[in-house]
Amino acid sequence: MNIFPRTPQDSKKENAVNKVVEIPVSAIVPNPAQPRVIFDDYELSRLAVSIQQNGILQPLTVRKIENSLNYELIAGERRLRACRLLNMTYVPCIIINASVKDSAVLAVLENLQRQDLTFMEEAYAIKNLIDYYGLTQEETAARLGTAQSTIANKLRLLKLTDDEKALVVKYKLTERQARALLRLESEQRPDAIHYIGTNQLNTSQTDEYIDCLLKGKTEKPKIHRRWTYRAVNLYINTFNKTIDAMKEAGINCETTKNRTDDFVEYVVKIPLKQMN
């Protein structure tokens, strides 16, 4: 026998779990374990335009904070930020039953599965999980559904100094290149990162270059770089996406494309009246 009689409010709260409900944006607080720390303003603006035109296609995931009127965000940080850019009052959310610990793991998992995080953000997220909840690497690997060696390799990246991490991000080095830098003495790394980044070395070239540094050789390995059709197309696609984003934002720009055997020419006309 339940000595605490159920109230209509209790039933209402239970019925809301695992269903899409409208929640005030002001009532949603960040997840302290949110692994994402880098948010691209351009991509957020594009997402905001898409939400404005099409609505939120995937509800946010939240959990009710005990003894509070607020909800903790589990998944949907970018969507929430985009909604705030639009000054939206309510957003569709799915409320799930989750403990503080489960919420943190779910926040990391959601981003890892969507491949939204940089490898540095992944490393910090994993370290935060381990430190805050006292998990071992093996326990963390089991929770995240990955190998213990993967966790160990991610954590090794954090041996780089903050300045070195910033340079790695600036020059867009890969995870393997960043780990290879750990073979060098700390004073050698900034120049090495600059050389790898400015010369756009691939992984094998990076390993060869670091081998030369470790052996004390002053002669740097030869760099063989060749533009490929695929590489050029990546830049063309990026340009096309920029034009699409302008049109989605309501800028009625006119584009003319002329392609020959030797080059691709784009002419973009933006009416100045729209910019006043």
Tell me which residue of 108, 21, 133, 38 sits closest to 78, measured CA to CA.
38
Measured distance CA(160)–CA(126) in Å, rounded: 16
Please give the structure tokens belonging to residue 111.
């981003």
Strand pairing of 60-64 and 90-95? parallel
3-state secondary structure of 117: coil
Element (H, E) at 209: helix 203-214
Q: Which single residue is written with the structure tokens 């691939």?
A: 202
Reduced DSSP (H G I as helix, E B as strand, rest coil) percent helix, strand, coil of the chain, to 5: 55, 15, 30
Active site residues: 77
Tell me which residue of 41, 178, 77 sits closest to 123, measured CA to CA.
178
